Amino acid sequence: MTRATRVVLSYPEALSKWGRDQVESPRYVNYLRKVVDDLRVGSEFEEFADVGCCGDSLDIRFRVEAVEGGDEMGPETDVAFTTRVADHDGGWKVQSAAGPNAESGRRS
């Protein structure tokens, strides 16, 4: 196996600005370098973005759009992002009408 020099991943264009900020952060890119093991163009995988101590996780479906230079990620692999037209449900229920306190009538 050889290390990829560059990988382009896409996520749904409906992902919020907050979600984009999370997945494009250096810490999350480092995480992806460790867990993504199928670098075939077109392969898809789902990962989560932590929303902290106050709720559910945000589940994001990524797709491998391009790979240059190898077939596995390493610490030096450049990870770039793009968007694609796709539904995005996610698992995020924090502070939403679908959240755990939706029926309680309690307000934050």
Asked whether residue 73 is assigned to any structural domain, the reply reads yes
What's residue 4's pLDDT?
A: 96
Asked whether residue 99 is assigned to any structural domain, the reply reads no
Q: In what order do the strands lie in the sheet with 58-68?
A: 44-49, 58-68, 6-12, 78-84
Token digits of residue 71:
């077939």
Reported as a single tens digit per residue, the pLDDT across 30-88 is: 999 999 989 999 999 998 876 555 555 678 899 999 999 999 999 999 999 999 987 65
Asked whether residue 1 is assigned to any structural domain, the reply reads no
* 100 band by pLDDT with thresholds 50, 70 and 90: very low
Asked whether residue 14 is assigned to any structural domain, the reply reads yes
Domain extent at residue 62: 6-84
Asked whether residue 92 is assigned to any structural domain, the reply reads no
User: Pick from 42, 41, 8, 2: which is nearest to 24 by CA?
Assistant: 8
For the beta carbon of residue 4, count every other beta carbon within 10 angstroms: 23
Q: List the CATH number of the domain containing 33.
A: 3.10.330
Q: How far apart are CA 72 and CA 60, in angstroms?
A: 21
Domains in the chain, number? 1
